[in-house]
Structures are given as structure tokens and as C-alpha cells.
Structure 1
Amino acid sequence: MDEETHPRNERSDGQDAAVVACALCSASVNSETPPATWTCSVENGSRQYVCDTCARTHIRAIESRLDSAWW
């Protein structure tokens, strides 16, 4: 399993800085992994994360497995 689970951005000092961002509201955390309260989905072959606030707002659509375009 050599695939990356999140995008990596380069910092100005040349080191990698991992940033995980919400696909809906663009809230972000500077972490290698998203917080445990965030939701992860795979759409069109790419992994997307949704923050806990957006997940609570759209919980019925998420549990119904509706495409995020319908939210």
C-alpha cells in the first residue's frame, strides 16, 4: 500500500507540510492524518475528507450514500 492518503504541500523551508482540508468548507488542519471526527469518502477515484461540522450538517446524505453533488 504505497499510495498517499492525503495531499502534501511543500513549505518555504523545503520540508513537506501535510495539510488536510475539508472538501466542502475548506477548513484545514496541519497534520499527517485528519482528526478522528472527520469523515472520509472516495469519489471519482480520489479521497476526500469532510470536517465534523459539515458531516453533521449533511449526515443524512452521507448515510444515504448520495453523491456530494446532491448535497
Structure 2
Amino acid sequence: MTSPPGRGDDGSAAESRPLVCDRCGTSAGTLADGPPLTWTCSMENGVRRSFCETCSRENLRSIEGRLDSDWW
């Protein structure tokens, strides 16, 4: 059986969690529906990382080049 969107595997509502930029620490507040559209999400070594609009714009070429954020 699959769970409806926004639900955990046990059928409970997904918990909202604070979103913080993994580069500069800027907070987007507590979100239940995911990051703002202007933020970038990246999978690096199996870990999901989020970057604010400013960090995403400043490092766009590195992101498009698929470089890990440790390199920028």
C-alpha cells in the first residue's frame, strides 16, 4: 500500500522541519511542503543538501558542473 503525499510510511502526517542553507546557514523557516522554489536541492554522497537562492546563484556554474559543495 502506498501513502498519500505528505504522509509518513505509518500514515501519520509528515512533520514539518526547519530548512537551513547548508552553505551559509540562512533559514527558510519551518516548512511542511518542501523548500522554496528559489532554493536548490542536491544529493551529495547520499546526503540531501539544500542551498538558499543567494548561494545557488553565486555557485551556479559549480552546481551545473555537478561539483560537490566542498569544492566551491
Deviation at residue 28 of structure 1 after TM alignment: 1.1
1:35 has 2:33 as partner: no
- Indicate the residue corresponding to 1:56 in structure 2: 57
Q: Give the TM-score normalised by structure 1.
A: 0.72
**Structure with greater Cα Rg:** 2
Map 1:16-31 → 2, pairs under 5 A: 17-29=16-28, 30-31=30-31
1:14-45: per-residue Cα shift (whole Å, max 9, x none)?
xx551011010011122121101100001111
Identity %: 47
The number of residues matched between the two structures is 58
Q: Give the TM-score normalised by structure 2.
A: 0.71
Question: Mind listing any 5+ residue stretches in structure 1 that lack a counterpart?
Answer: 3-15
Deviation at residue 63 of structure 1 after TM alignment: 0.6
> Given residue 59 of structure 2, which amino acid in structure 1 is its aligned partner?
H
Which 4+ stretches in 1 moved above 3 angstroms? Answer: none
